[in-house]
Amino acid sequence: SPPPPSPPPPPPDEPDPDWRRITCPVMSALVKNGDLVPSPAGLITKQQTFDALLRVGISEKVATETTDDNFDHIDSLDLNVFRMNTVSSGPPDPPGPAEHFRSTGIRDSRQPEHSVYPPFERCAAFDGTAGEFSSDDIVKCANLIWDHETCCEGGLPPKLQSNDVLDSKRPLACGSTDSGLSGCDPDCEEPLGCPTDETPCCRSQLHGAINFMFQEFGTPTGEAAHMSTTDMKKLWLQAGDPPDF
């Protein structure tokens, strides 16, 4: 009988394993702080990531949702954490990681873009209290800034164009000129109580990821969380955990 096939060669080593290249602030913090250790090829597995999230204090519910969203579409259940910025005009390089439907662009370059962050920080004043973020600041302002495919309007929240768009994750009936969470409430029936719920629901993983980061890293954990603008900026741009986390 013929000899068994040779095993595939190992993937090449990642040439630039720099935490600043990781598009997700939470994954970047885990790697920077040594809680999540990629292989020489830059690979992390679903189970490894789940365990790391639990170990630093992320709730099991959020750890499960996060790892399901990021790994379940990949047969091998692993990905190169340093190469998660995969939206381009050609095929993803490498195949595997999938970005959000829309994205902020704050961490889509080789290092965090300090010049892109200020509109996010402005949302801390949305609820009338400057200097710290509340759930209202996140849900009604920060989540919506880059949730657009056309540019641009001032105000609070400002309406800025998404850094890129992954059409395979486009919510049903969410067109290129639609944005936000209008139309997301299945119990909303016109004209009795949802006068603003008129356009298609564009709820996406971007909203969920920002909510999760705020509620899990803020104090106390959950919808009542607060986080100072200093700590939020440090988490986004320096992958630094808030002191009370």
Predicted pLDDT of residue 232: 98
- Per-residue model confidence (pLDDT) at position 82: 93
SS3 labels along the chain:
CCCCCCCCCCCCCCCCCCHHHCCCHHHHHHHHCCCCCCCCCCEEEHHHHHHHHHHCCCCHHHHHHHHHHHHCCCCCCEEECCCCCCCCCCCCCCCCCCCCCECCCCCCCCCCCCCCCHHHHHHHHCCCCCCEECHHHHHHCHHHCCCCCCCCECCCCCECCCCCECHHHCCCCCCCCCCCCCCCCCCCCCCCCCCCCCCCCCCCHHHHHHHHHHHHHCECCCCCCEEEHHHHHHHHHHCCCCCCC
pLDDT score for 193: 52
pLDDT at residue 2, as a whole number: 83
One-letter amino acid of 152? C
Q: What is the pLDDT of residue 103?
A: 92
Which pLDDT score is estimated for 88?
Answer: 61
| pLDDT at site 16 | 93
Query: Could you list the mean pLDDT of each consecutive 10-residue stretch along the chain, which spans 245 residues?
Result: 83 93 95 96 96 96 92 89 74 59 91 96 96 95 92 89 88 85 64 52 86 96 96 97 89
Q: What is the reported pLDDT for 197?
A: 47
Q: What angle do CA 154, 226, 197 make, to 5 degrees?
A: 50
Instruction: Give pLDDT, residue 93.
Output: 47
